[in-house]
Chain A
């Protein structure tokens, strides 16, 4: 049974041209999928349609074969709790401590009052501590988030997603604001989460080489349409040209080769 099925999904902002144009694909449980494409292609829009952060224009998103098209507020919250999301700019509440930010991942499971007052059970706090330990952040648990480095902040973002006990992680350019070594730590962490916990991961990337190294499957998008959906080793220069347009594709390929020789 596929975990996620995107069926003829289209999205249009106002009366602009379609940001997503009849997207169709299926993701099985445990997959690690990378979505690549030039900026403005519609990668972020696609992720946000999956967890209904933005309403889709037509089509459907099915989780375990169940349609998510018409949900009431309660169902929508339940839907979102199953899906963790990780952001380019981490999107933490900077003035709160690391552990409080992690526990925010539990809000979807809570009554309004408990969430408002910040009442978390001991089991939840215990889980937060464990996740932070696993991500190597136990020393920073009570620090305010604005005292952390970018790589540390992103790990807090990952912890916040993990404590949701998600089936699926959506990552929107998680390493675009990080230096190479921090980026590697984050990508290794995601890989580890995928393999050890069996959590399905969809990650938007703009670095083709990173996508090729980590993903099992690469989906290329251009102008709101899927232009390729293949395993990394079957990605040819032609396909990359098609995803990025010829000139940018050239640059990316040159860059990739230099890396290969180095």
Chain B
């Protein structure tokens, strides 16, 4: 009967989905040689270790000023890369968006470049840039800059096409010039979204900067790496607490700003 077929088919396709997923997971576990048993036993071990060793003690608190200094470096680098990359991305996005582009080919080119920039992971960028800038802040800065730029071009193109298509058409109908349209319609209508995305990228970049710092020996990632490698777990845990507090604080401020401007 038809009704029966319907329910059987539905159940079969869901069952197939589950089986395929489980099969893939099994194959992946074998292929990556992931030790499931060790994975499970490691969790209680890690908890036991963390509760006995992984907390800041009095001696580590003396390191707080130098940790905070490194934190400042990391935050600064995140803000600077997010801000400048977003400003550059906004220009490129204006030429790339359907609503405001001047030339199809440039639009395709801008999207292509952005795709490459954002799809190479920030750690890979850091390793590449080490060839040019060595273990300096420039390496991390450019790594964050490239990824942010690639990401922002994509979301800003979407934003421009979403938010300002109608008003651009209206201004064009009044006979306004291209740059007048950009300045009077595109910029004001996209600015709140732009700021919201910049804040999002700052949050993301702080997390990435920690990783990049481990690879390039800068900022808070470097602090953690040094304490971690010298088995000074009390100080390392202090670094984590400092990171958590600053990430949550920045998240809270961004959410507040977002609510106010959007």
A interface residues with partner B (beta carbon < 8 Å): 97, 99, 118, 120, 122, 125-126, 128-129, 141-142
Q: Which residues of B contact A141 (CB under 8 A)?
A: 3
**Minimum CB–CB distance for A187 against chain B, Å:** 29
Q: Which residues of B contact A97 (CB under 8 A)?
A: 6
Select the residue from A122, A129, A142 with max chain B CB neighbours within 10 A.
Answer: A142
- Is B105's beta carbon under 8 Å from chain A? no
Mark out the residues of chain B between 6 and 23 whose CB falls within 8 Å of any chain A CB in the assembled complex.
Answer: 6-7
Mark out the residues of chain B between 100 and 135 whose CB falls within 8 Å of any chain A CB in the assembled complex.
Answer: none
The residue on A at minimum CB distance from B9 is: A142
A122 to B3, CA, bound (A): 9
Q: How large is the interface on B (under 10, 10 to 19, 20 to 34, 35 or more residues)?
A: under 10
Q: How many A-B residue pairs have CB under 8 A?
A: 14
A128 to B6, CA, bound (A): 14
Q: Which residues of A contact B7 (CB under 8 A)?
A: 118, 120, 125
Contact between A129 and B3, CB atoms less than 8 A apart = yes
B interface residues with partner A (beta carbon < 8 Å): 3-4, 6-7
**Minimum CB–CB distance for B3 against chain A, Å:** 5
A141 to B7, CA, bound (A): 12
A99 to B3, CA, bound (A): 9
A141 to B4, CA, bound (A): 12
A118 to B8, CA, bound (A): 11
A129 to B4, CA, bound (A): 11
**Minimum CB–CB distance for B58 against chain A, Å:** 49
Q: Which residues of A contact B4 (CB under 8 A)?
A: 122, 125
A118 to B7, CA, bound (A): 9
A136 to B7, CA, bound (A): 21
Q: Which residues of B contact A142 (CB under 8 A)?
A: 6
**Minimum CB–CB distance for B11 against chain A, Å:** 8
**Minimum CB–CB distance for A224 against chain B, Å:** 36
The residue on B at minimum CB distance from A142 is: B6
Query: Would you mind naming 6 contact pairs between A and B with Cβ atoms under 8 Å apart?
Result: A97-B6, A118-B7, A122-B4, A125-B7, A126-B3, A142-B6
Q: Which residues of A contact B3 (CB under 8 A)?
A: 99, 125-126, 128-129, 141
**Minimum CB–CB distance for B17 against chain A, Å:** 15
Q: Which residues of B contact A125 (CB under 8 A)?
A: 3-4, 7
A99 to B4, CA, bound (A): 11
Q: Which residues of B contact A129 (CB under 8 A)?
A: 3
Give the 5 A-B CB pairs with smallest separation, nearest first.
A125-B3, A142-B6, A129-B3, A99-B3, A99-B6
Instruction: Give 10 new A-B contacts, CB below 8 A, not counting A97-B6, A122-B4, A141-B3.
Output: A99-B6, A118-B7, A120-B7, A125-B3, A125-B4, A125-B7, A126-B3, A128-B3, A129-B3, A142-B6
A31 to B57, CA, bound (A): 76
A129 to B2, CA, bound (A): 11
Q: Which residues of B contact A122 (CB under 8 A)?
A: 4
Q: Which residues of B contact A118 (CB under 8 A)?
A: 7
The residue on B at minimum CB distance from A129 is: B3
**Minimum CB–CB distance for B50 against chain A, Å:** 37
A129 to B5, CA, bound (A): 14
Q: Which residues of A contact B6 (CB under 8 A)?
A: 97, 99, 142
**Minimum CB–CB distance for A141 against chain B, Å:** 8
**Minimum CB–CB distance for A124 against chain B, Å:** 10
A122 to B6, CA, bound (A): 13
**Minimum CB–CB distance for A103 against chain B, Å:** 9
**Minimum CB–CB distance for B85 against chain A, Å:** 39
The residue on A at minimum CB distance from B3 is: A125
Q: Which residues of B contact A120 (CB under 8 A)?
A: 7
**Minimum CB–CB distance for A159 against chain B, Å:** 14
A125 to B8, CA, bound (A): 13
A118 to B15, CA, bound (A): 13
**Minimum CB–CB distance for A104 against chain B, Å:** 14
**Minimum CB–CB distance for B38 against chain A, Å:** 34
**Minimum CB–CB distance for B18 against chain A, Å:** 13
**Minimum CB–CB distance for A194 against chain B, Å:** 28
**Minimum CB–CB distance for A20 against chain B, Å:** 36
